[in-house]
Amino acid sequence: MNKDLALICSKILDYSNALSSLFLEDYKQLMKDEFANLSTKQQVILELLRVKNRTVNEISHFLSITASAASQLISKLEKQDYVKREINPDNRREIIVQLGEKGHHYNEMVEKNQLFIIEKYYAKLPKDDLEKLLDIHEKLYHIAVKTQEE
């Protein structure tokens, strides 16, 4: 890779990391204290479940941990009513994990925080710039997914 390209990519990564830090500060201020006890992995599980219900094996694969370790994380979340587990009626050896009442409340807070970030920062960009940014992020995502699969 030539030096100019490496410098540009380095600056992109630096800005991306700096933005993530700024957004994280906003999230910390906006999230209620009731969610302060959640570990990063537990938060990732709740984010995965926001999109759709998952099996324990899917969660363990995504987090790159054993099914036993994933089950322990899920158990802690279940005791606090963030998630609930059910046996898959189509495959009784599978456990399906879904959001519990507190998990739904957590994700409502996350969505409110995302809207806050959008209004505070992204909405100040022209629509054309946002569309270009989305296009670039989509392209980079697909490159990353394809590269990971190889």
Instruction: Please name the amino acid found at residue 52.
Output: K
State mean pLDDT over 125-135: 97
Q: Give the predicted TM-score (pTM) of the model.
A: 0.75
Same domain assignment for residues 54 and 104: yes
Same domain assignment for residues 2 and 64: no
Residues 6+ apart with CB under 8 A from 61: none
> CA 21 from chain center: how many Å?
15
- Residue of 63, 52, 29 lying closest to 107 (CA atoms): 52
**Could you tell me if 53 and 97 are in contact, meaning their C-beta atoms sit under 8 angstroms apart?**
yes
Same domain assignment for residues 23 and 51: no
Mean pLDDT rounded to a whole number for the chain: 92
- Residue of 102, 84, 110, 97 lying closest to 23 (CA atoms): 110
| pLDDT tens column, 6-50 | 999 999 999 999 999 998 888 877 776 778 788 889 999 999 999
Residue-number span of the structural domain to which 139 is assigned = 31-149
Same domain assignment for residues 65 and 43: yes
Same domain assignment for residues 10 and 69: no
**pLDDT at 32 (0 to 100):** 66
Same domain assignment for residues 109 and 145: yes
Give the count of domains, the chain.
2
Same domain assignment for residues 20 and 54: no
